Amino acid sequence: MDSGKYVRYTNEQVEALERVYNECPKPSSARRSQLLQEYPILANIEPKQIKVWFQNRRCREKQRKEATRLINMNAKLSALNKMLMEENERLMKQTTELSMEVHVLRQELAKYRPPPQSNGENLGLGDQMASDMVGEFLGKATGTAVDWANMPGTKNGPDTFEMVFILRGGPGIASRVYGLVLMEPAKVASALKDRSQWLRECRKSEVLGEFRTDQGTVEVVYTQICERSMSGGTNLEPVPAFVRAEMHPSGYYIKPCNGNSIIYIVDHVDLKPLSVPEVLRPLYESSAALAQRQTMEALRYLRRLASDSNLDSPRSNGHQALAWRGIAERIARGFNEAVNGFPDDGWVPLMGDGMDDVSVAARPLNGQRHSGSNPAMSGNSEALRASEGGVLCAKASMLLQVSKRSKK
DNA sequence: ACTGTAATTACGTTCCCGTA
DNA sequence: TACGGGAACGTAATTACAGT
């Protein structure tokens, strides 16, 4: 650029231009010519220069506003960052405290772990007697030789000291579960005496649909292990050609433990799968889920009681309740995956939603009609085997209700 | 070297006018 | 009336210069 072209306007000239700019930042060509008349001090400035000055002035104002906006935003973000840093520090401290608390709780839980069951080696006399009593109890409760298969996903671990087992090799289906409940043994016994009470939330039963096959009538029944099944009473009309099942007496073994209780719960159901229509047999054979549901429901009930009763006690707090809930949920998930071969969300519940309910899920296959409820979109090997027969697939709890109704 | 600002450049939009 | 060309003007980016 020719250096002779570059000039710096005087302060007076700039002040005059600023006054005009404040009135009108974007003057027209006529207005620009007019202000040359109004301000003799601008007489030596070309109209084109005036135009350029206004262009640059608008540009500068825009840049300054943007700079101011960025400065303000930076201040806000700095304040927010400071606040988050403080919050992070607080949470880090909380994490440390909770980790220590978890460590203490695990140490406490480790004290309540029952002795190994493989043999009696390294057991004290009291432990050996207790172990023998448990074995005898389990045998009587199931009416069969004890040959349990531990369910994957429920192994003893650092954060759980309870296990779920399914009977292997005996008639029918049995399951057992043991775990610590923070209740006095007398209270546990009292709660378990009234079995119907912990089934109170599990008594809903509804026929969702019905259709006939060559082997007989198939009903789709939603149930939650209804109370009347236990008492023998029912207000549902019996459907002919349905199979029978027997409910064996359940058993509870309560072992005192430092003011709390280690509970062994067993349920045993003989569904007689050989009497089931062949097309449904695979489903009956998968009904280990039912027995497990019952035992887990009992244990959950006891824990709810313990949790409720201990909420006010100084040794209990919200963390404990959360820990118990987490353990129960992990066990339930693990069992479902182990027995059914798929997670809970693989089925769409017809009613109820799973964890605390004994829910039913079903899906129509091979173009068969269904009950009108949402069909589940995935299944397991048992469901697939059943589907080959061209009927509805369902979880075991549904089929138990079918068999119970025919028992009357 | 850095900053502020005048001047330049590139490009897009709007308006006006002539023409088919 | 539609269309194209040109003038005027705008913005954004860049360059160049003078003062500190």
pLDDT (tens digit per residue) in A361-400: 222 222 222 222 222 222 222 222 222 221 222 222 322 2
Q: How far is the CA of A14 from the C1' of B16 (A)?
A: 35
> Residue A4, CA: closest nucleotide via C1'?
C17
Instruction: Judge if A76 and A167 occupy the same domain.
Output: no
Can you read off the two tokens belonging to residue A197?
């009470």
Tokens 């974007």 correspond to what residue?
A26
Is residue A117 a part of any domain in this protein?
A: no
Contact A174, A268 (CB under 8 A): yes
Is residue A213 a part of any domain in this protein?
A: yes
Q: How far is the CA of A6 from the C1' of C18 (A)?
A: 9
Residue A341, classed as helix, strand or coil, is coil
Instruction: Judge if A207 and A274 occupy the same domain.
Output: yes
Residue A82 has pLDDT above 80, yes or no: yes
Mean pLDDT of A298-312: 64
> Residue A7, CA: closest nucleotide via C1'?
B6
Residue A13 has pLDDT above 60, yes or no: yes
Instruction: Judge if A165 and A266 occupy the same domain.
Output: yes
CA atoms of A175 and A293, how far apart (whole Å): 9
Residue A23, classed as helix, strand or coil, is helix
Is residue A248 a part of any domain in this protein?
A: yes
Instruction: Judge if A133 and A103 occupy the same domain.
Output: no
CA atoms of A405 and A155, how far apart (whole Å): 36
Instruction: Judge if A94 and A174 occupy the same domain.
Output: no
Instruction: Judge if A18 and A54 occupy the same domain.
Output: yes
Phi, psi of A84 (to 5 degrees): -65, -35
A310 touches strand B (CB under 7 A): no
Is residue A376 a part of any domain in this protein?
A: yes
Among candidate residues A166, A140, A186, A198, the one with its CA nearest the CA of residue A338: A166
The pTM score is 0.33
CA atoms of A277 and A292, how far apart (whole Å): 24
> Residue A2, CA: closest nucleotide via C1'?
C16
pLDDT (tens digit per residue) in A321-335: 454 444 445 444 543
Which CATH number characterizes residue A308's domain? 3.30.530
User: Kind and range of the H or E element at A82?
Assistant: helix A47-111
Nucleotides of B under 7 A from a protein CB: 5-8
**Higher pLDDT among residues A402 and A108, named by residue:** A108
Which CATH number characterizes residue A78's domain? 1.10.10.60
Among candidate residues A296, A290, A303, the one with its CA nearest the CA of residue A356: A296
Q: How far is the CA of A314 from the C1' of B15 (A)?
A: 85
> Residue A60, CA: closest nucleotide via C1'?
B5
A14 touches strand B (CB under 7 A): yes
Instruction: Judge if A396 and A293 occupy the same domain.
Output: yes
Is residue A360 a part of any domain in this protein?
A: yes
Percent of chain A with pLDDT over 70: 31
> Residue A64, CA: closest nucleotide via C1'?
B4
Confidence category of residue A160, pLDDT binned at 50, 70, 90: very low
Instruction: Judge if A302 and A347 occupy the same domain.
Output: yes
> Residue A3, CA: closest nucleotide via C1'?
C17
Is residue A119 a part of any domain in this protein?
A: no
Please give the pLDDT value at position A136.
63
Q: How far is the CA of A388 from the C1' of B13 (A)?
A: 72
Please give the pLDDT value at position A141.
59
Please give the pLDDT value at position A5.
57
Instruction: Judge if A75 and A218 occupy the same domain.
Output: no
Can you read off the two tokens belonging to residue A158?
């650092």
Provide the residue range defining the domain that includes A11: 1-111
Q: What total number of domains does chain A contain?
A: 2
Is residue A302 a part of any domain in this protein?
A: yes
Residue A50 has pLDDT above 70, yes or no: yes
Please give the pLDDT value at position A290.
57
Mean pLDDT of A397-407: 28
Confidence category of residue A188, pLDDT binned at 50, 70, 90: confident
CA atoms of A89 and A18, how far apart (whole Å): 52
**Higher pLDDT among residues A69 and A137, named by residue:** A69
**Higher pLDDT among residues A385 and A210, named by residue:** A210
Instruction: Judge if A50 and A183 occupy the same domain.
Output: no
Residue A270, classed as helix, strand or coil, is strand
Instruction: Judge if A95 and A133 occupy the same domain.
Output: no
Can you read off the two tokens belonging to residue A51?
């135009």
Is residue A120 a part of any domain in this protein?
A: no
**Higher pLDDT among residues A295 and A41, named by residue:** A41
Nucleotides of C under 7 A from a protein CB: 8-13, 15-19
A57 touches strand B (CB under 7 A): yes
Contact A259, A246 (CB under 8 A): no
Among candidate residues A88, A331, A272, A298, the one with its CA nearest the CA of residue A189: A298
Which segment, A55-59, A346-350, A393-397, is predicted with the most confidence on average? A55-59
Q: How far is the CA of A28 from the C1' of B14 (A)?
A: 15
Mean pLDDT of A63-69: 71
A55 touches strand B (CB under 7 A): yes
Instruction: Judge if A90 and A157 occupy the same domain.
Output: no
